Structure 1
Amino acid sequence: MHRLPRAATVAAAALALLAVPIAAQAQAPAIDYVALGDSYSSGSGAGPYTDAACQRSLKAHPALLAAELGAEFTFVACGGATTDDVLAEQVQALDAETDLVTIGIGGNDIGWTEAITACITPFQNCTPAIQEAERKATEELPAKLEAVYTEIETRSPDAEVVVTGYPRLFAARNTCDAFGSISIAEQQRMNVGADVLSAVIQEAAEAHGFTYADVRDEFTGHEICSQQPWLHGFTLTDVPYHPKASGHSGGYLPAVLGAL
């Protein structure tokens, strides 16, 4: 691994935002930043979208981070993406000059949407769907993440890589969502599944020397059914069970900046 020089560049740029006047910052070389991932990276739910097919939003945390760092920004994260999609369609944006990569991927590989759907369906026991998602997370996802992370290393060997996780969705204190069809016990069980997924992603990321940005603490107190949710619950007018713009600015962005 040879990431220290490029990592130092990214860290120095972040510190420069706090310590150096804007005019001086403008003279520094821009960071070459590429954002990969799925809907939690593209900004599905944050709107409005610059790319309707992938639901890329300028309110998504990668776009906010690029603006914060004054980076040259390539945004290829796409709603619905799996690890296979990253390998087939997104990693081509990387090269040896890439300084910074963020990636959030894995939820679609384990059928997390199907588990949520089962839980919001009245009179359906969603525990088997959650258990199947956990099985895929622990038995199948590590090899898929390994392939993606190895490809990132190969294409951008000097880049600083920050891997983002997923928040727990539910406050698990009341039954506000989906007309009360998701019980507190089901919400708690979904949150356990989210923790399983986070643990798998963190272990895979750190095995490659990547930095893991855990967003669960930032979203605590802002889950679905909290007083100030940063996530959409069941809705027909937006993208359900995805972060709002506030979830990106208040949850993901501080976690990634903290990781840098």
Structure 2
Amino acid sequence: MTAPGGEDTVRTVGSGWARARERGAAALDYLGITVVGALVVTGLTLLAPGTASSVVAAGQQAVCAVTTKLPGGSCPDLLQSPADLADDVGATGDPYVDRRWTRAEVTSGGLVFLGDSYGSGEGAKDYDPTTDQTGENSWWDDLWGRTPPPKNMCHRSGNAAFHQVSGDWFGGSSSTFASCSGARTRDYWEETQGNDESAQRDALDENTSLVVVSMGGNDMQFADVLMSCAPVGGGSVDDCVGHWMDPQDPDDPTSSRWEQNLLRVFGTEPGGGNLGEVYADIRARTGDNAHVVVVGYPLVFDPDYDGIVFSGEEADWMNERGVELNARLREAAEHHGFTFVDPTEAFAGHGVGSDDPWILTFGFWGDHRARPPESYHPTARGQQAIADLIDEHLRSLP
């Protein structure tokens, strides 16, 4: 998209990663010194726990002399762990949580979409060609000895909610589409797994004024839950539920696969876990200048579903897990002062098995059917519904 009278400023993190690699050779001059400095700081901290904070502070100042010469380098990014970042941000807590945002503030800077396939538009078709590359050549390209393109299956759709929000509120400019199909919380911190993309957090800075996040479903292995309940191997609903809900340790009721996932993603206290660290870092990276909207997940199945791939009982159980996931996402978002948008009501009557589905089911042909990874994702109409919810929230601001 192009800003009025200007150049195209809608970008994806992939292009930023490519530019970073071009600058990589220069950065290597400083890498050895940086690593040594970081190791010295770590060693001193372990040897003198009572003086850890002062040692680390001094070490950071020393290493900064080197790291600030790196393109975009800074001590906090290179030395602080996600937990450290979360602790730092906690000091600003209440004023941010209680902040009353205005539309003018929220749309004054840049827009960034972060997260997974529900944000990227998996299933909504019309993918950006650079995010629909398997990393393999066709037989024709192999015949001519052509180098295959880098693998990137982020599947950023031209029908994703991002484009409507960007166009309606940011004039199609100052917008970064970093959401990537399959992304987990680790992809916020690191190069996206299996794709030629930088960490999603690199899309954020103090000029960002609105962040939209769809994240957590892959960390909860929700796609695995769906596929393990499919009766491909002659399984039953008892097998499916038991696999995820039965304790792996008879003496520990929290040892089920599902409970362990909840603990890892959300922690033992509100706002904790892997997702809490991401939320805290979003605030740190944006300097508390960004309004953050967390979008939940629509319930996949219509209440009256009783199909071939799953039984009605299995569909009900998976919808219950979706309700639980959204409740935890809401709690985490509100703890960090973010707004939670729940698509459950908007998708009512439009789940798999309904007369007008906005979510694709599994299949090889026919309307509203798709093979993985597109199956069980919103259609273009579903993405429009998500965009409408974000739009409704923004219009509610003073």
Relative to the length of structure 1, the TM-score reads 0.86
Q: Which residue of 1 aligns with 2:241?
A: 127
Question: Cα offset for 1:172?
Answer: 3.1
Q: Which residue of 2 aligns with 1:150?
A: 280
Question: Cα offset for 1:96?
Answer: 0.4
Which is worse superposed, 127-136 or 51-60?
A: 127-136
Q: Which residue of 1 aligns with 2:228?
A: 118
Which of 167, 175, 183 is residue 73 of structure 1 equivalent to? 175
Alpha-carbon separation, structure 2, partners of 1:129 and 1:215: 28
Which of 352, 355, 365 is residue 224 of structure 1 equivalent to? 352
Which of 82, 95, 98 is residue 208 of structure 2 equivalent to? 98
> Whose RCO is larger (CA < 8 A, sep 6+)?
1
Question: Cα offset for 1:253?
Answer: 1.2
Question: Cα offset for 1:159?
Answer: 0.3
1:45 aligns with 2:103: no
1:78 alignment partner, SS class: coil
CA contact (8 A) 1:130 1:190 kept: no
CA contact (8 A) 1:104 1:163 kept: yes
2:111 alignment partner, SS class: strand
Change (3 A) 1:35 1:185: same
Q: Which residue of 2 aligns with 1:23?
A: none
1:59 aligns with 2:137: no
Alpha-carbon separation, structure 2, partners of 1:130 and 1:242: 22
Aligned residues: 240
- Can you give the 5+ residue segments of structure 1 that lack an aligned partner in the other structure? 14-29
Alpha-carbon separation, structure 2, partners of 1:87 and 1:6: 29
Which of 306, 318, 338 is residue 210 of structure 1 equivalent to? 338
Runs ≥4 residues deviating over 6 A: none
Q: Which residue of 2 aligns with 1:255?
A: 389
1:62 alignment partner, SS class: helix
Which of 263, 282, 294 is residue 139 of structure 1 equivalent to? 263
1:33 alignment partner, SS class: strand
Q: Which residue of 1 aligns with 2:73?
A: none
Q: Which residue of 1 aligns with 2:329?
A: 201
CA contact (8 A) 1:34 1:93 kept: yes
Q: Which residue of 2 aligns with 1:17?
A: none
- Can you give the 5+ residue segments of structure 2 that lack an aligned partner in the other structure? 1-91, 133-152, 191-198, 246-255, 267-272, 365-369
Q: Which residue of 2 aligns with 1:173?
A: 304
1:99 alignment partner, SS class: strand
1:232 counterpart letter in structure 2? L
Q: Which residue of 2 aligns with 1:108?
A: 218
What root-mean-square deviation, in Å, do the aligned CA atoms of Structure 1 and Structure 2 show?
2.0
Question: Cα offset for 1:67?
Answer: 1.1
Deviations 1:194-246, CA, capped at 9 Å, x for gaps:
01111111110100000001011101100000000000011344510100000
Relative to the length of structure 2, the TM-score reads 0.57
Change (3 A) 1:104 1:10: farther
1:225 alignment partner, SS class: coil
Larger Rg computed on CA atoms: 2
Change (3 A) 1:12 1:198: closer
Which of 306, 311, 334 is residue 183 of structure 1 equivalent to? 311
CA contact (8 A) 1:110 1:133 kept: no
Which is worse superposed, 165-174 or 36-45?
A: 165-174
Deviations 1:35-59, CA, capped at 9 Å, x for gaps:
1010000000001111212100121
Q: Which residue of 1 aligns with 2:16?
A: none
Deviations 1:96-140, CA, capped at 9 Å, x for gaps:
010100010001101111110012224313113443563145311
Q: Which residue of 2 aligns with 1:19?
A: none
Deviations 1:6-48, CA, capped at 9 Å, x for gaps:
93245775xxxxxxxxxxxxxxxx6410110100000000011
Q: Which residue of 1 aligns with 2:188?
A: 86
Change (3 A) 1:174 1:257: same
Deviations 1:176-196, CA, capped at 9 Å, x for gaps:
3xxx13111111000000011
Q: Which residue of 2 aligns with 1:32?
A: 110
CA contact (8 A) 2:106 2:290 kept: no
CA contact (8 A) 1:37 1:77 kept: yes
Deviations 1:42-85, CA, capped at 9 Å, x for gaps:
00000111121210012111122111112421001000000010
CA contact (8 A) 2:106 2:210 kept: no
Q: Which residue of 1 aligns with 2:363?
A: 235
